[in-house]
Homo-oligomer: A and B are copies of this chain.
Amino acid sequence: MSAADTRLPGPRSATLDFWFDFASTYSYLSAMRIDALAARHGVAVRWRPFLLGPIFAGQGWQTSPFNVYPAKGRYMVRDITRIAADRGLAFRMPDVFPAHTVAAARHALAGDAGWIAGFSRAVFEAEFARGLDISNGDVLAALARETGGDAPTLAARASSAAVKAALRTETDTARALGIFGAPSFVTPDGELFWGDDRLDHALRWCTS
């Protein structure tokens, strides 16, 4: 059955902005389901990678809050493990957490709008299902190729001044929207939803 066949009633032109950081465990959960779920609501998704690091730094954290607050970190791993099991998703924590995501985010922004979702899902799976190091250029090149990208061109673009500036701008935009964590979802009328557990609410908001 195609997505269109299961689409719920509602306006068909809405676009939901999906703000994520590749190091974010809850962003992984959303990345693996957002396109299918949004299609059923007749909502388009714009994938918007950004960097949580500068935003966390503004909150006084030099690393993930899951490292700053160990009880919260232990809980997060358990919570994601339970949810992933429910959804039939693989999940393991990467050896380095949070991963360094600048290179992955720049790669994502270096491609075109039709490629970013598949590439981003591949990055999340590499990190959280296969335990690969997504800060590694060879890993990113392989994922780019596997998702139909021209790896050398993407790598060159990813290290260009234009793409570096674009990622800084996206992160500044996220902060200006009130984003303080990931995943976050922003509707066409500017409504902010935070967390994988708010994705359904965000989609309903788009079509109500």
Contact = CB atoms under 8 A, between A and B. Distances in A.
Interface of A: 59, 69, 71-72, 74-75, 78-79, 82-83, 86, 178-181, 192-195, 197-198, 201
A82 B201 contact: yes
A194 B75 contact: yes
A114 B107 CA distance: 59
A83 B180 CA distance: 20
Contact of A78 (B72, B86, B192): B192
B178 A79 contact: no
B180 A72 contact: yes
The binding surface of chain A is classed by DSSP as: helix
Contacts of A82: 201
Given A82-B201, A201-B82, A69 B194 contact: no
Nearest to A69: B59
Contacts of A192: 75, 78
Nearest to A181: B72
18 contacts: A69-B180, A71-B178, A71-B180, A72-B180, A72-B181, A75-B180, A75-B192, A75-B194, A78-B192, A79-B193, A79-B194, A79-B198, A82-B201, A83-B201, A86-B201, A195-B197, A197-B197, A197-B198
A78 B195 CA distance: 14
Given A75-B180, A75-B192, 16 more contacts: A59-B69, A69-B180, A71-B178, A71-B179, A71-B180, A72-B180, A74-B178, A75-B178, A75-B194, A78-B192, A79-B198, A82-B201, A83-B201, A86-B201, A197-B197, A197-B198
A191 to B, nearest CB: 8
- From A59, A71, A180, A201, name the one whose CB has the most chain B CB atoms within 10 angstroms: A71
A30 to B, nearest CB: 14
A21 to B, nearest CB: 16
Contacts of A86: 201
